Chain A
Amino acid sequence: MATYTLRKVLSLIPMMLFISFLIYLGIELMPGDAVDFLIPPDALATMSAEQLNAMRESLGLNDPFLVRYLKWLGGLLQGEFGYSIQSGVPVATLMKNHLPATIELTVTALVFSSVFGVLFGVLSALKKGSLIDQVFSLIGMAGVAIPQFLLGLICINAFALHLNILPAGGRMASAGQSFVERLPYLLMPALVLGFSLTAGVMRYARSSMLDSMGRDYMKTARAKGIPEWRVNLLHGLRTALTPVVVLIGFRLPMLIGGAVVIEEVFQWPGIGSLFVNAVRSQNTPLVMMIGFFSVLLVLISSIIVDIVTAFLDPRIKLS
C-alpha cells in the first residue's frame, strides 16, 4: 500500500508538468494579452504604443512563451505563486481568501448529496417499482434536468423574497461569527448545489444495489437464515457500495472549481467567480494557480479512489 501510494504520487510530477504546460499554452493562444484588459478601453485609446510596450516589458509579457512558462515554473518550485496582474495582490493571498468559502460550500453539498443519494438510492432499490421509488426517480430527474442557476433563482425568490426566512445571498465572514450564525447563508446555495448532485448518486446507488440484490450470494445469505435487513444492508449494500464510492471520489475535484454557477447566483465569494474573472482578463498567474490546484486534486482523487476501492473490494489488488 505504502509503495503503491509513493509510486503514484511520484508519477504525479511529470503529469503535473505536462498539464500545467497545456494550461499555459491555452492562455497563450487566447487573443490579446493581460494589458488589454488591465486598462479601461477609453484610456487605452489615448495611450501610445511605447507606453503599452513599456507596460508589457514591466509585466514580463514580451519574453518568448517558453521563457515565461519556465519562469512561472521556477517561481512555483520556490513556493512563489506570483501576483495577480489585475490587482497586484499575491495569488496566495487571493486563494487563501476565497478557497475556504468554496470548500465550505462544496463540502456541504458533497456530503449532503452523498448521504442522501445513497440513502434514497438504496431505498428505491429495496422498494423497486413502489410509489416511493417513483417519487425518488421523479425528484432525481428534476435534479438533473433543472439548471442550477434556475433552481437557485427560484429558491431565492421563494425563500428570501416571499417567505423571507433565508438571506438571498452573500456569505458572512468567518471571523468572529459562530457557525450557527453563518449557517443561514450557507444553507440555500449548498442545498441547491447538493440537490443537483444527489440525483446522480441516487440513480447510481439504485442500479448498483439492484445489481447486487440479484446476485447469487444474496440467495446464499437468505438460505443461511440471517435476517432480511442483514442480507440487504450487509451483503447487498457492502458490495453495491464500491461503484458508488468511485463516483463520489471522482467528484472531489469539485471542491475547488465545481460551484462557479452557484457562487455567481448566490454572490458567494468563492474561487469560482475569481477563476472566471481571471480567465476573462488573461490573468495568467491566477489562472495557472487555480488550474494547477484543480488538476492536482483530480489526480489525487484518483489515487484516493484506487486505495478506497482496493480496501472495499478484496478482489482488487494495488499494483
Chain B
Amino acid sequence: MSGAPLQRGIESIVAEVVRVHLLENVLGRPEVRRGLSPEAIERIRRDVLDRLKASEEEGRANRGEVEEVLDAALGAAGPAGAMIKSLLKAGWERLAPRNREER
C-alpha cells in the first residue's frame, strides 16, 4: 500500500460503485425492510448517501493514481498482466455508463 492518496482513489471508486449499484439493493432487501421502519430506512439512506458522495469527491483527484499503479504493476507482470488489465477494463466499462448517467 503506497499511502493515503492511493487508498483515497480506491475509496472514491468503491464509493461510486456502492452508491450506484448497492445502495438501493441493500435498502430494499427483505430482512432490512423487516428489521427497520420506513423512517429509519430513509434516515440511513440520506446519511449513507452523504458519506458516499463525500468519499467520491474526496478521492476523485486520486483515481488516476490507482490507474497508474495498476498499469505499472500489470505491465511488469508481462502477458498475464496485460490480460488482467483488459479484464479489469471490461469490468469497469460495464459500470461506467451508469456512472456517467448518475453524475
Decide whether A and B assemble into one complex: no
Binding site for B on A (CB under 8 A): none
Which B residues fall within an 8 A CB radius of A?
A: none
